[in-house]
Amino acid sequence: MDLREGSQSFAKWTAVELSGDEPRMLFVPRGFAHGFCTLVPQTRVFYKVDSPYAPQAEGGVRFDDPDLAIPWPTSLPIVSGKDRALPLLKDLGVRR
């Protein structure tokens, strides 16, 4: 999802299904949020990043933000406490 302030595509998101049967990668550029939902047990997700991990730069948007209305493909998600505590998009203070 585009989180770049002033972007014409701000808050627009897309969904991509990745599979071990058809290995592909997905590039998420700087300024975009990402999330994932596994549909099979024992899934491994690998990240390649462009800079060292910086905890102070962490952030995000609630997965169930009603303004985004993302139709996640599960009715019983397992979500970490850290991710449940993320703010709604409207509370981030970013301008469209």
Per-residue model confidence (pLDDT) at position 72: 93
Beta-bridge partners for 22: 19
- What is the pLDDT at residue 46? 85
Does the pLDDT of residue 40 top 70, yes or no? yes
User: pLDDT at residue 55 above 80?
Assistant: yes
| Distance of alpha carbon 32 from the chain centroid | 8
- Tokens found for residue 71: 């139709």
* pLDDT in the model for residue 88: 95
- What domains appear along the chain, each with residue ranges and CATH number? 1-96 (2.60.120.10)
The pLDDT of 16-32, averaged and rounded, is 88
pTM: 0.80
Cα distance between residue 38 and residue 90, in whole Å: 27
The DSSP line for 11-79 is T-------BTTB-------TTB------SSTT-------SS---GGG-----TT-TTT----S-SS---
Whether 96 shows a pLDDT value over 90: the answer reads: no
| Mean pLDDT score of the chain | 89
- Tens digit of pLDDT for each residue in 63-74? 999 999 999 998
Distances (CA, A) of 22 to 11, 17, 18, 33, 43: 29, 10, 7, 24, 14
